[in-house]
Amino acid sequence: MRITSKGQVTIPQEVRESAGLMPGTDVEFQVGPGFVRLVKATPGSGRRSRGRKLVESLRGRGDFKMTTDEIVALMRGPAADEG
């Protein structure tokens, strides 16, 4: 097996199936002296997605003093006169 010029390698199907590595599975690399190991990422480990980072950065920053009804009314705009 050879690494491509883009740094990619194809994991053989039987290895993927044996390890339970399905499309979309998050993995991590463990590096040690003389080896590199590919393992399934456990929830909460490894790299966070951009969405997760955004949510974490915004958490606890809300300081709105408006009720939900006031926010909805603001989003809808001025009420049209019925006539």
Q: What is the pLDDT of residue 34?
A: 96
Task: Judge whether 81 lies within some domain.
Answer: no
Supply the range of the domain harboring residue 42: 13-76
- Could you give the CA distance from residue 46 to residue 26 in angstroms, rounded to a whole number? 9
Residue 16: the pLDDT is: 92
pLDDT in tens, 18-55: 999 998 888 889 999 999 999 988 776 666 777 878 88
pLDDT category of residue 17 using cuts at 50, 70 and 90:
very high
- Is the residue at 30 inside a domain? yes
In a domain, 72, yes or no: yes
Nearest in space to 1 (alpha carbons), one of 16, 12, 13: 12
Residue 34 lies inside a defined structural domain of this protein:
yes
Could you tell me if residue 50 is inside a domain? yes
The count of domains in the chain is 1
What pTM did the predictor assign?
0.47
CA of residue 45 relative to chain centroid, distance: 11
Q: Is residue 2 part of a domain?
A: no
